[in-house]
């Protein structure tokens, strides 16, 4: 790493203090934040990625903890805002809107309660861009960004330049997105902050040992190398929102509890979003809302007896353990084991096919973190969580 930096400015994972690197003052160093959706440690270990391997040797590389639940919206907000869900308010892909009593997708900017990286950049006079495969990331995180692009629904100018974007349910859409990012790095030197969020459809579809997965990550790695060559003075900060595992069993907690004499108000999979082909809406964490407070203990006992349940936490316990916002989770937080997810089914439980892959639990909460070419005298121990990746960028 070049330059010098008081390491104390990068400490504070335990204290919650914002870190402030040297480029937050004067002329900031350009920064590219790479949020590789679903890129768990096993994908890193089993893929040939020479560009990323070089970054790891020369810079900082470690496996860190993500935010819980290990779903995209929670972690995307955590990475982009640099704070826990207790402060930014995004506790899943879905939640219960207590004002209406309805389950809603958690993907609109009005739900985000902390400043984004783009808003911090704007305060430093830095232009920023958010590029995402998924539309939901644009609507959730786009505040403050000067340029927005979703490959799921690109504007006419982008289509003229790069052709129609591939389908959202494809690995090719990630290549299209990164070609657009590289073009920005080459043609828009005024953009000093670029955030690129891919889709995890390939990880939902193929395990890390599959040839299709290896091809996908090899192609992405080549594009990472092109991006670094296009912006040799930029810092490249890479992490993921969650990993991915095969899941063999799903519980419908509403039906299971009703069958055991404890009807629920609602049980919400924290993973459910508008991309059902990925995971059918099933996930490794469920928010359980009881009809009355007297039902909470009974529901907890009934759920704890289900095969595949790792833990049943009260609202208070879950918020303390995972830094969550109490008003946006259930009376109970139910965590599945490595093989188990929760969601809506025709019956109370279902065996899942061998090709089914999903996330949301603690078993998908560890992710890579790689820092390349960042100015300053940094140490790997200063980065313990994916929220640490860019939380000191454009602060001060």
Per-residue pLDDT tens over the stretch 80-106? 999 999 999 999 999 999 889 999 999
Lowest-pLDDT range of 7-11, 175-179, 297-301, 324-328: 7-11
The answer on pLDDT for 276 being more than 90 is no
Between β-strands 94-97 and 249-251, what pairing exists: parallel, antiparallel or unpaired?
Answer: unpaired
Confidence at residue 106, expressed as pLDDT on a 0 to 100 scale: 96
How far apart CA 205 and CA 178 sit, in angstroms, is: 20
The answer on pLDDT for 10 being more than 60 is no
Domain boundaries, the chain: 7-244+361-388, 247-356
Contacts of 229 (CB under 8 A, 6+ apart): none
Domain 7-244+361-388 has CATH 3.10.129.10: no
Q: What is the pLDDT of residues 64-79, one digit of tens each?
A: 999 999 999 999 999 9
249 near 284, Cβ under 8 Å? Answer: no
Q: Which two tokens stand for residue 158?
A: 């982008």
Confidence grade of residue 7 (pLDDT, cut at 50, 70, 90):
very low
213 near 302, Cβ under 8 Å? Answer: no
Positive or negative CA dihedral for 60, 65, 71, 74?
negative
Confidence at residue 98, expressed as pLDDT on a 0 to 100 scale: 87
199: left (phi over 0), alpha (psi -120 to 50) or beta: beta
143 near 184, Cβ under 8 Å? Answer: no
Segment 170-187 shows an average pLDDT of: 98
Higher pLDDT, 125 or 15: 125
The CATH homologous superfamily of the domain defined by 247-356: Domain 2, Phosphonoacetate Hydrolase (3.30.1360.110)
Confidence at residue 1, expressed as pLDDT on a 0 to 100 scale: 31
Confidence grade of residue 26 (pLDDT, cut at 50, 70, 90):
low
Q: What is the pLDDT of residues 130-171, one digit of tens each?
A: 999 999 999 999 999 999 999 999 999 999 999 999 999 999
How far apart CA 146 and CA 362 sit, in angstroms, is: 35
- What are the C-alpha distances in Å from 8 to residues 55, 121, 235, 322? 24, 22, 20, 25
151 near 176, Cβ under 8 Å? Answer: yes
Q: What is the 3-state secondary structure (H, E, C) of the chain?
A: CCCCCCHHHHCCCCCCCCCCCHHHCCCCCCEEEEECCCCCHHHHHCCCCHHHHHHHHHCEEEEEECCCCECHHHHHHHHHHCCCHHHHCCCCCEEEECCCCEEEECCCHHHCCCCCHHHHHHHCCCEEEEEECCHHHHHHHCCCCCEEEECCCCCHHHHHHHCCCCCCCCCHHHHHHHHHHHHHHHHCCCEEEEEEECCCHHHHHCCCCCHHHHHHHHHHHHHHHHHHHHCCCCEEEEECCCCCEECCEEECHHHHHHHCCCCEEEEEECCCCCCHHHHCCCECEEEEEECCHHHHHHHHHHHHCCCCEEEEEEHHHHHHHHCCCHHHCCCEEEEECCCEEECCCCCCEEECCCCCEECECHHHCEEEEEEECCCCCCCHHHCCEHHHCCCCCCCC
Confidence grade of residue 378 (pLDDT, cut at 50, 70, 90):
confident
Report the percent of the chain where pLDDT is more than 70: 93
Segment 302-326 shows an average pLDDT of: 98
Please state the separation of Cα 148 from the chain's center in Å: 18
How many CA within 13 A on the CB side of residue 344? 11
pTM for this entry: 0.92
Q: Which two tokens stand for residue 183?
A: 């073009």
Confidence at residue 16, expressed as pLDDT on a 0 to 100 scale: 32
Confidence grade of residue 8 (pLDDT, cut at 50, 70, 90):
very low
Report the percent of the chain where pLDDT is more than 90: 87
Between β-strands 285-290 and 332-336, what pairing exists: parallel, antiparallel or unpaired?
Answer: antiparallel
390 near 82, Cβ under 8 Å? Answer: yes
How many CA within 13 A on the CB side of residue 104? 14
359 near 243, Cβ under 8 Å? Answer: yes
Lowest-pLDDT range of 12-21, 43-52, 103-112, 298-307: 12-21
Confidence at residue 275, expressed as pLDDT on a 0 to 100 scale: 87
Positive or negative CA dihedral for 70, 72, 74, 75?
positive
Confidence at residue 285, expressed as pLDDT on a 0 to 100 scale: 98
324 near 86, Cβ under 8 Å? Answer: yes
Average pLDDT, the chain: 92
Confidence grade of residue 279 (pLDDT, cut at 50, 70, 90):
confident
The answer on pLDDT for 59 being more than 90 is yes
The 10 Å Cβ neighbour count of residue 232 is: 9
């Amino acid at each position: 790493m070049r330059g010098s930096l008081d390491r104390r400015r990068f400490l504070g994972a335990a204290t919650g203090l914002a870190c402030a690197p040297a480029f937050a003052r004067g002329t900031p160093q350009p920064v590219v934040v790479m949020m590789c959706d679903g890129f768990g440690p096993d994908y890193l270990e089993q893929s040939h990625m020479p560009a990323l391997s070089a970054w790891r040797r020369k810079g900082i590389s470690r496996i860190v903890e993500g935010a819980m639940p290990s779903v995209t919206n929670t972690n995307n907000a955590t990475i982009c805002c640099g704070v826990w869900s207790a402060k930014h308010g995004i506790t899943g892909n879905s939640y219960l809107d207590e004002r209406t009593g309805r389950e809603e997708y958690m993907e609109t900017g009005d739900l985000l309660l902390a400043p984004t990286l783009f808003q911090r950049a704007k305060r430093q006079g830095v232009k920023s861009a958010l590029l995402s495969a998924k539309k939901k990331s644009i609507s959730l995180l786009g505040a403050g960004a000067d340029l927005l692009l979703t490959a799921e629904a690109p504007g006419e100018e982008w289509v003229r330049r790069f052709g129609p974007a591939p389908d959202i349910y494809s690995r090719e859409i990630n290549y299209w997105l990164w070609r657009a990012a590289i073009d920005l790095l080459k043609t828009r030197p005024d953009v000093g902050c670029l955030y690129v969020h891919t889709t995890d459809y390939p990880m939902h579809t193929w395990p890390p040992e599959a040839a299709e997965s290896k091809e996908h990550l090899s192609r992405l790695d080549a594009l990472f190398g092109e991006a670094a060559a296009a912006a040799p003075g930029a810092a490249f900060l890479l992490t993921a929102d969650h990993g991915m595992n095969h899941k063999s069993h799903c519980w419908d907690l509403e039906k299971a509890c009703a069958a055991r004499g404890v009807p629920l108000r609602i049980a919400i999979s924290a993973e459910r979003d508008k991309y059902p082909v990925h995971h059918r809406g099933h996930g490794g964490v469920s928010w359980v809302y009881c009809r009355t407070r007297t039902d909470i203990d009974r529901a907890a006992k009934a759920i704890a007896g289900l095969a595949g349940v790792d833990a049943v936490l009260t609202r208070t316990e879950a918020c303390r353990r995972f830094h969550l916002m109490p008003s946006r989770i259930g009376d109970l937080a139910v965590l599945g084991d490595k093989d188990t997810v929760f969601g809506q089914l025709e019956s109370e439980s279902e065996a899942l096919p061998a090709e089914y892959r999903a996330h949301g639990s603690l078993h998908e909460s560890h992710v890579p973190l790689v820092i390349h070419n960042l100015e300053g005298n940094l140490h790997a121990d200063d980065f313990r969580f994916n929220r640490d990746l860019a939380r000191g960028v454009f602060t001060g």
